[in-house]
Amino acid sequence: SQFRIALIVGSLRRESFNKKLADGLVRLAPRDFTFHHCEIGDLPLYNQDDDGHQAAPVKRLKHEIGESQGVLFVTPEYNRSIPGVLKNAIDHASRPYGQSAFAGKPAGVIGISVGAIGTAIAQQHLRNVLAYLDMPTLGQPEAFLQAKEGFFGADGHIGEGSQKFLQGWVDAYANWVRSHAG
Ligand code: FNR
- pLDDT digit of tens for each residue in the chain (182 aa)? 899 999 999 999 999 999 999 999 999 999 999 999 999 999 999 999 999 999 999 999 999 999 999 999 999 999 999 999 999 999 999 999 999 999 999 999 999 999 999 999 999 999 999 999 999 999 999 999 999 999 999 888 999 999 999 999 999 999 999 999 97
Ligand 1 centroid from CA 151, angstroms: 16
Q: Looking at residue 77, what is its pLDDT? A: 98
- Tell me whether 0.90 is exceeded by the ipTM: yes
Q: Which CATH number goes with the domain that contains 59?
A: 3.40.50.360
Q: Looking at residue 156, what is its pLDDT? A: 87
Q: Looking at residue 68, what is its pLDDT? A: 98
Q: Which domain holds residue 90?
A: 3-179
For the Cβ of 54 lying below 6 angstroms from any atom of ligand 1, the answer is: no
| Alpha carbon distance 26, 182 (integer Å) | 23
Return the residue whose CA atom lies nearest to atom 2 of ligand 1.
78
Sort 172 into a burial class: Cβ within 10 Å, 0-12 / 13-18 / 19+.
middle
Q: Looking at residue 154, what is its pLDDT? A: 87
Return the residue whose CA atom lies nearest to atom 14 of ligand 1.
78
Buried/exposed 22-59: b ≥16 CB within 10 Å, e otherwise:
bbbbbebbeeebebeebebeebeebeeeeeeebeebbe
For the Cβ of 75 lying below 6 angstroms from any atom of ligand 1, the answer is: no
For the Cβ of 114 lying below 6 angstroms from any atom of ligand 1, the answer is: yes
In 3D space, the residue among 148, 73, 65, 68 whose CA is nearest the CA of residue 99 turns out to be 65
**Total structural domains in the chain?**
1
Q: Name the packing angle between helices 84-93 and 56-66 (round to 10°).
A: 80
Q: Name the packing angle between helices 120-132 and 84-93 (round to 10°).
A: 10
Give every CB contact of residue 16 below 8 A, 6+ residues apart in sequence: 9, 76
Q: Looking at residue 1, what is its pLDDT? A: 81
Sort 151 into a burial class: Cβ within 10 Å, 0-12 / 13-18 / 19+.
middle
For the Cβ of 78 lying below 6 angstroms from any atom of ligand 1, the answer is: yes
